Amino acid sequence: MKLKPLDVIRFIVIILILLHVNIVNNSSAQDVTDADIKAILFFKFSGYVKWPPEITINNSKTIECCVMGTGHLSQLLLNYDAKQMMNRTVHSTQVSNPDTLTGCHILFVSSSEKKKQSQIFKAISGKPILTVGDFKGFSKNGGGIINFIRKKDTVHFEINPENAKRAGLKISSKLLRLSKIVK
């Protein structure tokens, strides 16, 4: 029996929830929110992205996560600071100025920063930073690579492979198969 991509995504989300319930404030499965699922997926994405050889994340024990904006998901990502994820120690930092994004491996851009997205994309243009957003149009406008979307009460994500290529990042076909591709 061949699984549909939507079934595979649901299966992965269920497994992630079961594996990481203890990370999400020791809550029960009924208390897991969309933001909790997005936070887990956010860090899992790094296992399916290859950075250029000069960037140390491929063999590093640390992953540098920058968070721009406010909101529940932003706070969750900041709460992962110094925790282990994907056999790496997470270093999460709140950033307010796009010009200070050097050293970030992954950048989360909250919907509160939607009006600044062109300024953000200009500041990181050509830099090997995996950009992840959480608002409509993020991966279609400028430099957004991965964007969380909601379909039928389920968290999904879309990926813009061209934006990833411009950033010098290579996204695994395994992750691409699970996403909606945008151009």
124, 174, 167: which is closest to 145 by C-alpha? 167
CA 172 – CA 130 distance, rounded (Å): 13
- 32: confidence class by pLDDT, cuts 50, 70, 90: confident
Residues 6+ apart with CB under 8 A from 123: 98, 99, 101
For the chain, the structural domain boundaries read 34-181
Give the three-class secondary structure for 150.
strand
Architecture of domain 34-181: 3-Layer(aba) Sandwich (3.40)
Arithmetic mean of pLDDT, 125-135: 93
Residue 36, pLDDT > 70, answer: yes
Q: What is the pLDDT of residue 183?
A: 84
Q: What is the pLDDT of residue 111?
A: 94
Write the CA distances from 78 to 6, 11, 53, 75, 92, integer angstroms: 29, 27, 27, 5, 5
End-to-end CA distance of the chain: 31
Tokens of 120: 């953000």
- 22: confidence class by pLDDT, cuts 50, 70, 90: very low
The C-alpha angle with vertex 33 and arms to 27 and 34, in degrees rounded to 5, equals 145
Average pLDDT, the chain: 83
- Residues 45-68 pLDDT 10s: 988 999 888 776 656 678 899 999
CA 93 – CA 91 distance, rounded (Å): 7
